[in-house]
Chains A and B, each alone.
Chain A
Amino acid sequence: MQIVTPEFGLIFWQLVIFLTVLFLLAKFAWKPILLSLKEREDSIESALRMADQAKLEMQQLKAGNEKLLTDARIERDKMMQEASQMANQLVETAKNKATEEGSRMIMQAREAIQNEKNAALTEVKNTAAKLSIDIAERILRRELADSSSQQQLVDSYLKDVKLN
């Protein structure tokens, strides 16, 4: 029966010592421990929230970058197209100009050739005329060596003049 009879002395000491331990632990152990645990949980929570936010921002940034990149690509394509168009145009104009110049030069050359030809022809005519006059003169000199034949000729000329 003794073991189920609470002893007054032990109840007294248990009460005094337990309450002392409770008070001391509450003040010097549980309070700082629970406070630090809470603080740490709060800091982890806020860190997680911040990480989430950063992730979101990052995503937004990435989307912005993507847009910028596509824009740049479109811009580049446009510029390339424009440039090639311009180059084509330039080549075309250059070609046209060259053809024009060529044809103009050909024409000039043709003109010059014509001129030269004309000049040459005139000269040839002149030379031919001179040659024929020379030949005629020589022939005439040989023909008119005797005075009868000279008379005969003069007479024929005179006859011609009369006829005119």
Chain B
Amino acid sequence: MKRLLIALFCILTLPVFANEPAATTAEATDQEAFNPGEMILHHIGDSHEWHFATLGNAEHGTHVTIPLPVIAYQPAKGLSVFSSSKLAHGQAYNGLKLEHEHLMAEDGSKVYDFSITKNTASLILSAVLLLLVFTAVASGYKKNHGKAPKGVQSFFEPIILFIRDEVAKKSIGPKYERYMPYLLTVFFFIWFNNLLGLMPGAANLTGNIAVTFTLAVLTLIITLASSNKYYWAHIFATPGVPKALLPIMIPVELIGIVVKPFSLMVRLFANITAGHIVILSFISLIFIFKSAALAPVSLAFGLFINVLELLVAILQAYIFTLLTAMYIGGAVETHHDADLQMGGGNGVEPAHAH
């Protein structure tokens, strides 16, 4: 079985091996060869090193990069930690190598990759930034106790109040206070990382499916953990639905539990990644047409999309937070007078009509 897998693996990776020399020779012979798809995927994807720029020739020029630590766990060999610079240019180190930014063992054995990748480094950076900014805001409240807010405090106060009053209070109801820390953290985490992702050379953290997946799972866990009997009653005995339809309704509602966080995951990932792809595509136009005359046009469009992305950054953070609050609100709701879920009203309305 294992041998079969290895064989399959070899077959699958063959085209990659075959492609690589071809691509490098093509680049060597024709410097203008430019593959926008590859460039864009490289920019929006994760990497084991933080690459800022390449000066001069792609093959022989200087790469301005920060090597990041690789942390790999192999069941057979144990933990190994080393700099990613040792894996640069496809070199192998300690029996490990990078295959299209994917850490693999040379012998094909299983590797658990805990590396501090570009995204992880950016994640740590944003975590530090969040902690610094919001402890500063909190200290502002201690310093200006009972007085008007000042500086960074007065910038974030309306946003915090908005999340509390417009998102948490309206969607969750009287029990909103328990969920405020999660909602605020999610909002500012997504917003800060969306903005950090727009900086040149930065990582595309909130456009990474692993990150949005984790956030969505946390929302799912919180929703399920705070759900009450009304929530489950709504799923297993949807009010106003005939008994005969329940065998259809119950699976639909159960799928709905998972689909909601899944939509959160995909929405954030797709929005941020799409924005990056569009900006990079406009910039790629210059290189595709090999003309500097096109630069003003593509820069104007790129700038427009970039400004739009600034709006999308806060909008997506708001939508993620609002939907999380609504899902939690649906789970903690005690009455069905404010039904946010689909299908609830369908059964009630005909009853009124008759």
**Partner-B contacts on A (CB < 8 A):** 2-15, 17-18, 20-22, 24-26, 28-34, 36-37, 39-40, 43
Q: Which of B124, B182, B210 has its CB near the most chain A CB atoms (within 10 A)?
A: B210
B171 at the interface (CB under 8 A from A): no
- Return chain B residues, CB-CB under 8 Å to A17: 120, 123-124, 127
B41 and A2 form a contact (CB under 8 A):
yes
Residue of B nearest to A13 (CB): B120
B221 to chain A, nearest CB (A): 11
With A and B bound together, what is the CA distance between A121 and B89 in angstroms? 172
**Partner-A contacts on B (CB < 8 A):** 41, 44-46, 71, 100-102, 112-117, 119-120, 123-124, 127, 130-131, 134-135, 137-138, 141-142, 145-146, 157, 160-161, 164, 177, 180-182, 184-185, 189, 208-211, 213-215, 218, 269, 273
B268 to chain A, nearest CB (A): 13
With A and B bound together, what is the CA distance between A10 and B117 in angstroms? 8
- Return chain B residues, CB-CB under 8 Å to A7: 46, 113, 210
- Given A5-B209, A11-B214, A34-B180: 11 more A-B contacts, CB < 8 Å: A2-B41, A6-B213, A7-B113, A10-B119, A14-B211, A18-B214, A25-B130, A28-B134, A29-B131, A29-B137, A43-B146
- Return chain B residues, CB-CB under 8 Å to A12: 114
- Return chain A residues, CB-CB under 8 Å to B146: 39-40, 43
With A and B bound together, what is the CA distance between A15 and B119 in angstroms? 13
Given contacts A34-B164, A40-B146, contact A11 B210 (CB under 8 A): yes
- Return chain A residues, CB-CB under 8 Å to B130: 21, 25
For the residues of B in contact with A, the DSSP-based class is helix
For the residues of A in contact with B, the DSSP-based class is helix
Residue of B nearest to A5 (CB): B209
A10 and B142 form a contact (CB under 8 A):
no
A34 to chain B, nearest CB (A): 6
Given contacts A13-B114, A25-B181, A25-B185, contact A36 B210 (CB under 8 A): no
A2 to chain B, nearest CB (A): 6
Residue of B nearest to A24 (CB): B131
- Return chain B residues, CB-CB under 8 Å to A20: 127
A155 to chain B, nearest CB (A): 152
B113 and A8 form a contact (CB under 8 A):
yes
- Return chain B residues, CB-CB under 8 Å to A26: 181, 185
A9 to chain B, nearest CB (A): 4
With A and B bound together, what is the CA distance between A20 and B126 in angstroms? 12
